[in-house]
């Protein structure tokens, strides 16, 4: 029996790279959101800029296959083993994105004061044109995109129970961010499924 709802995909054509947006991705999104909020091992991390150490303005949790190490702004994240719920969500993300993933970076934006700064998901272990599937649950937050060469800007609201798939050359030509929106009081969970190539030994 197929428990998944039918989803409609919208493709957003960009100057370089591809964005796909799927709506109504999970039949039980409210329950999944609550369960992830309660049960994932959320951690507060820090990043270092030279001598200065800053707390990351959101909570994070990294799950994946044992060899899916990930280095992120000088931070080495060791994956925790998949939970059965995250494995189910990975299967769903894989079927929509048409791609396999071996890890998921989970972000918890406690309210509109939490954010992720401008960046591209272009670290070497992600490979040349990474496919990243990003599931949003909870408060709607704005996904900002900026073209590196032309400065062109785009804004996309990421609603509860949507999956955004970034692919092609997107990470080479665009940076993205979820900027602070102080008026927002509700939390948002975002899961970014990724394929990390294990380091060569
Ligand atoms: O929360 C989001 O929608 C984006 C998160 C993100 O860009 C990341 O974790 O790399
Ligand atoms: Mn990102």
Nearest to 34 by CA among 132, 138, 136: 138
Those residues whose C-beta lies under 8 Å from the C-beta of residue 161, and which sit 6 or more positions away, are 23, 24, 25, 26, 29, 136, 137
Mutate to test the pocket of ligand 1, among 176, 177, 189 (most ligand atoms within 8 A of CB): 176
Q: Measured between alpha carbons, how far is residue 75 from residues 22, 62, 194 in Å?
A: 31, 12, 17
Domain assignment present for residue 44? The answer is: no
Which residue is listed with tokens 């951690």?
Answer: 43
Nearest to 160 by CA among 139, 179, 176: 139
Mutate to test the pocket of ligand 1, among 116, 131, 184 (most ligand atoms within 8 A of CB): 116
Q: What is the pLDDT along the chain (201 residues), one digit of tens a residue?
A: 334 456 678 887 777 889 999 999 999 999 999 999 999 999 998 888 888 999 999 999 999 998 887 665 666 667 999 999 999 999 999 999 999 999 999 999 999 999 999 999 998 888 889 999 999 999 999 999 999 999 999 999 999 999 999 998 999 999 999 999 999 999 999 999 999 987 665
CATH at residue 168:
2.60.120.590
178 CB less than 6 Å from ligand 1? yes
Between the CA of 140 and the centroid of ligand 1 the distance, in Å, is 13
Which residue is listed with tokens 């060899």?
Answer: 67
> What are 104's two structure tokens?
């998921």
Between the CA of 47 and the centroid of ligand 2 the distance, in Å, is 15
pLDDT of residue 70: 67
Between the CA of 110 and the centroid of ligand 2 the distance, in Å, is 18
**In terms of residue numbers, what domain contains 114?**
105-201
Q: How many domains does the chain have?
A: 1
Q: 43-72, pLDDT tens digit by residue?
A: 998 888 888 999 999 999 999 998 887 665
How far apart CA 173 and CA 143 sit, in angstroms, is 16
> What are 119's two structure tokens?
């960046």
Atom of ligand 1 nearest to the CA of 143: 3
Q: 99-114, pLDDT tens digit by residue?
A: 999 999 999 999 999 9
**Residue 167 host element (H or E):** strand 162-167
163 CB less than 6 Å from ligand 1? no
């Amino acid at each position: 029996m197929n428990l998944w709802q039918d989803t409609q995909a919208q493709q957003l054509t960009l100057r370089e790279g591809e964005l796909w947006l799927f709506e109504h991705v999970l039949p039980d999104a409210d329950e999944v959101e609550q369960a992830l909020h309660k049960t994932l091992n959320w951690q507060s991390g820090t990043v270092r800029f030279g001598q200065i150490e800053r707390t990351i303005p959101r909570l994070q949790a990294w799950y994946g296959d044992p060899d899916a190490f990930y280095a992120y702004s000088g931070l080495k994240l060791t994956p925790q083993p998949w939970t059965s719920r995250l494995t189910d969500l990975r299967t769903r993300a894989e079927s929509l994105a048409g791609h396999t993933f071996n890890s998921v970076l989970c972000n918890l934006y406690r309210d509109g004061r939490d954010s992720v700064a401008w960046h591209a998901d272009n670290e070497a272990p992600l490979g040349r044109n990474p496919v990243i599937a990003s599931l949003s649950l909870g408060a709607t937050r704005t996904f900002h995109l900026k073209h590196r060469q032309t400065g062109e800007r785009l804004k996309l609201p990421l609603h509860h129970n949507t999956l955004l798939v970034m692919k092609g050359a997107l990470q080479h030509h665009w940076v993205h961010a979820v900027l602070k929106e102080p008026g927002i009081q509700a939390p948002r969970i975002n899961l970014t499924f990724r394929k990390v190539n294990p380091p060569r030994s």
